[in-house]
Amino acid sequence: MMKICLDAGHYGEYNRSPAVSEYTEAECMWKLHLLLKSELEKYGVQVILTRTEQARDMSLTERGRRGAGCDLFLSLHSNAVGDGVREDIDYPVAYVAIDGKADEIGLALAQCVEKLMGTEQAARIEKRRGSNGDYYGVLRGAAQVGTMALILEHSFHTNTQMTEWLLIDGNLKRLAAAEAAVIAQYFNLEEEENMLRYERLSDIPDNWDKEGDPRATIEKLMNAGILNGDGSDRSGNDDIVDLSHDMVRTLILEYRGGAFDRALIAAGFEPAVEIS
Ligand SMILES: [Zn+2]
C-alpha cells in the first residue's frame, strides 16, 4: 500500500500575513493538509501526519524523519518575501530535495497550484544545498530516511489576492482534490470510489426501466456525442458518466419525447420518435 507523509508547515499562529491579518500560514496549511489527507485516502493511500496537534511544534529534521517508510514526504506552505506586502510577487514553488528524486512530482504539483490559484508568475522548482546536505531541515530529515521529499509553497501570503484566495475553505478543498489527483497520477493510482462506481455506465442499472434499456439509450447519446463523460477516467480509456438515477430518468424521458432527435439524426443515429 502506498504511504504518504504530510507535514503542515509551522504550528499555532505562525507566519501571519502582512496583507490580510486574519491569515496565518500555520492555520491555513493545517486545514489544507487534513483535506489533502482525506483526498488521498480516496485513492487507497495510507496517510500519516508529522504532528497530531496543530499547536505543537516539532523540529524540522524530526518532521522529515517521520517520513520513514513512506513513498513521499510533502510539506505544505505559503511563501513570504520580505517583511511587508509585495503584490508583484506571486508564484508557486516546490523546494525539492537535492537528490533530484522529487523534481518531476514537485513541478507537477507546483503547476497544479499555478493553475488553480491563477498565479501571476509561473510555477517552478528550486533546490538549495546546505553545508550538510539539503538546506531545508524537513528535506534533510526525509533524505536521512531515504524518502522522496518536497516542500510545496502555495504562492505568497505577502500577496493580498493570493492570501484572500487561500482563506476560502472551498478553494482549499479544490486544491486538496487537485493535488491528490496529481499525486495519484504520478503513482498510477486509481480512485477506489471510481473503481467501484464509475466503470463505464455501470452506475446505470441494467433493468431499472422495464419498458426500455436505459444503458443502451445513454450509450447511444454518448456515441452520438450528445452526452459526454466528465473526463475523470484517468486510465485514458472510455470516459466516465456519473449520473444519478433521477438524471437517468430525466434523460430517458427527454429521449422518448424526441428531445435529442435532431441531434441524433445529425450524428447519423436513429431518432427516438418516428418523424412523419
Ligand atoms: Zn512556511
| pLDDT reading at 218 higher than 50 | yes
Q: What is the pLDDT of residues 58-76, one digit of tens each?
A: 999 999 999 999 999 999 9
- Expressed in angstroms and rounded, the spacing between residue 25 Cα and the centre of ligand 1 is 7
Q: 66 with 147, same domain?
A: yes
Q: How many domains does the chain have?
A: 2
The answer on 147 and 101 residing in a single domain is yes
> Is 134 found in the same domain as 41?
yes
Q: Do 164 and 252 belong to one domain?
A: no
Global pTM exceeds 0.75: no
What's the rounded mean pLDDT across residues 16-41?
97
273: in domain? no
Please give the grid coordinates belonging to residue 113.
Answer: 497550484
**Tens digit of each residue's pLDDT (9 = 90 or more) over 146-165:** 999 999 999 999 999 999 99
Shared-domain flag, residues 155 and 223: no
Dihedral, 223, 224, 228, 229 alpha carbons, nearest 10: 0
- Kindly tell me if the per-residue pLDDT of 270 is higher than 50: yes
What distances in angstroms separate CA 5 from CA 76, 99, 119, 183, 237, one per listed residue? 11, 18, 27, 12, 31
pLDDT tens readout for residues 239-269: 566 777 778 778 888 888 899 999 999 999 9
For residue 162, how far is its CA from the centre of ligand 1 (angstroms)?
A: 15
The domain containing residue 209 runs over which residues?
Answer: 197-266
Q: Within this chain, do residues 137 and 244 fall inside the same structural domain, yes or no?
A: no
Distance (angstroms) between ligand 1 centre and the Cα of 11 equals 10
Based on the fold, state whether residues 85 and 207 are members of the same structural domain: no
- Structure confidence at residue 103 (pLDDT): 98
pLDDT-derived band at 198 (thresholds 50, 70, 90) equals: very low
**Structural domain contains residue 271:** no
Distance 157 CA to ligand 1 centre (A): 10
Distance 13 CA to ligand 1 centre (A): 12
Are 240 and 200 contacting, i.e. CB atoms less than 8 angstroms apart?
yes
Backbone phi, psi, residue 237, to 5°: -90, -140
Largest CA distance in the chain: 84
